[in-house]
Structure 1
Amino acid sequence: MASGSARPGSTRLVKLLYGNVNSYLSSGAAGINGGGAVWGSTTGLSSAELAPFGARSASGQIVRNRMKSVKSIQKITKAMKMVAASKLRNIQVKAENSRGLWQPFTALLGDAPATKVDKKLIVTISSDKGLCGGINSTVVKYSRALFRLNGLDGPDKDVKYVIVGEKGKAQLQRDSKKLISMYFGETQKSSICFTQCSMMADEIIKSNEYDAIQMVYNKFNSVVSFQPTVATLLSPQLLIGDQEVTGDLDAYEIEGSDTKEEVLQNLSEFQFACTMYNAMLENATSEMGARMSAMENSTRNASDMLDRLTLTYNRSRQASITTELIEIISGAAALEG
């Protein structure tokens, strides 16, 4: 807290009091040598020795430092909210447009989350940055639940994690480090594009053996709402053996020399790339919406805390001023008496 002597009114009052005391002593009105010796030394006192006349309050200084910290945090949260809002609109349009890529595949090839297979990949889509609510912890919880459900089918099931995003890796590697097959980081450093997702999907297919893939991500509903979603993709071998899928494919005319198996192989890989592209866009859109809400709540909480600290500071400041005035008036009254 600023010292009382630093305020213009208090400075004039202290100087006036010092002048009256010195005049009083120089005129010999003190009468007693002991009293003259005591008050005659006041003009040479240091600031630390003049604490009763307006010393800086340690508790008030702590409150001021806290207020500065809260104001800095409030500025940061406001800026982060504005940045997230500016990015949200563009990525939301891309996410909505990408839904038309994977929906025809679901109608043709189906989505069978209850399919029991021996080898399964759980692809967890998360973000690289935090401060976005609980979207990352949500997909991690769903991924762990899927892993436990697959373990109930038998101990010989081979289930691995493929993680996209730094936050998902940080949480899953605590207890499942040996089960992580692949990891992709800094995927949102540049704008998410289909080429990037195609390369990631191709790398996953080449480096892993699987019968089914379960992709866990957050589907964007609104700025304040997102829905954890699991997309199940079967391997080309299972699709070829599925008579329902191959029967539906007979209704289409295949051009060129490609066989039905080759067509299903290509469709399966393309479906994986399209689904991953949509999943990453949906999760990124959910991240921006969640960050906007989180930063808005943080800004509001910082404002409330700032109000409480301001009230505390004003009370401490007023109490210090009152104490200083009482001491000054009591000293002047003692001299006059």
Structure 2
Amino acid sequence: MKSVKNIQKITKAMKMVAASKLRAIQTKAENSRGLWQPFTALLGDLPSANVKKNVVVTISSDKGLCGGINSTSVKISKGLHKLNSGPEKETKYVILGEKAKAQLVRDSKKDIELIITELQKNPLNYTQVSVLADEILKNVEYDALRIVFNKFHSVVSFVPTVSTVLSPEIVEREAESGGKLGDLDSYEVEGGETKGEILQNLAEFQFSCVMFNAVLENACSEQGARMSAMDSSSRNAGDMLDRLTLTYN
């Protein structure tokens, strides 16, 4: 009975810690949505773009006890890998977080390009994530980046999400074929930059903005799932304690 009481105290404390962390991150996540939405309006998301080099960026947590958010992300990542692999295609992984690392290293070690952990060791900010995004772009060759994360809706609800960022070359190809960017030439650009330079800058900034939102959304989902898991554990411990007390008496 004493052990169950101690476990209940721990799970209640963990729930309170998760709630505190969620409040700190949630406002940032909601504000960050305004960063990437203009890019989606201009460049489109184009998840069905047919490209040869795909990179699946899987975002997960470093710690457990947060329900099934990590296994869901890994499952979707594996599905994307299978869907975008073939005789003339290749798909690689970039992994953020220990939990996705543990699962994907076991099954797909040869396809992993980069692993980054302890992302949430310090409070998340745009500067930190933009440096991370720059490191990814320097270390991988890609036609399309598929960012897999959990979009936060509420403490008990999160939606597995995939955002697509195309390389400047693919964006230009889509524009020339009459895609979302077909009217890019109608914009007047100051500064003398070429179309290729503009697309390069847009792609890099788009990726850092999408990544910033994705890591914040996933962090919110992690803390929300942990709150739910610890609340459930606390209630189960309480039920067990009641039964043990009844048996003891």
TM-score (norm 2): 0.96
Alignment of 1:195 with 2:127, yes or no, is: yes
Alignment of 1:312 with 2:247, yes or no, is: yes
Alignment counterpart, residue 269 of structure 1, candidates 182, 204, 223: 204
Corresponding residue for residue 10 of structure 2: 76
Structure 2, unmatched stretches of 5+, are none
Corresponding residue for residue 61 of structure 2: 127
Amino acid at match of 1:120: N
Corresponding residue for residue 218 of structure 2: 283
Q: Distance in 1 between matches of 2:186 and 2:124?
A: 35
Alignment of 1:185 with 2:120, yes or no, is: no
Amino acid at match of 1:218: N
Q: Distance in 1 between matches of 2:205 and 2:183?
A: 18
Q: Distance in 2 between matches of 1:264 and 1:167?
A: 34
Alignment of 1:229 with 2:161, yes or no, is: yes
Q: Distance in 1 between matches of 2:220 and 2:197?
A: 35
Structure 1, unmatched stretches of 5+, are 1-66, 315-337
Which structure would you say has the larger RCO, counting Cα contacts within 8 Å and 6 or more residues apart?
2
Corresponding residue for residue 96 of structure 2: 164
Number of positions where the alignment pairs a residue of Structure 1 with one of Structure 2: 246
How far does the alpha carbon of each residue in 1:220-264 deviate from its partner, in whole angstroms, 9 at most, with x for none? 011100000000111011112222355332232211121111011
**Identity rate, percent:** 69
CA contact (8 A) 1:119 1:157 kept: yes
TM-score (norm 1): 0.71
Alignment of 1:249 with 2:181, yes or no, is: no
Q: Distance in 2 between matches of 1:246 and 1:254?
A: 15
The CA RMSD over aligned residues, in Å, is 1.1
Amino acid at match of 2:72: T
Q: Distance in 1 between matches of 2:153 and 2:60?
A: 17
Amino acid at match of 2:157: S
Alignment of 1:114 with 2:48, yes or no, is: yes
- Give SS of 1:229's match: strand
CA contact (8 A) 1:108 1:248 kept: no
Amino acid at match of 1:138: T
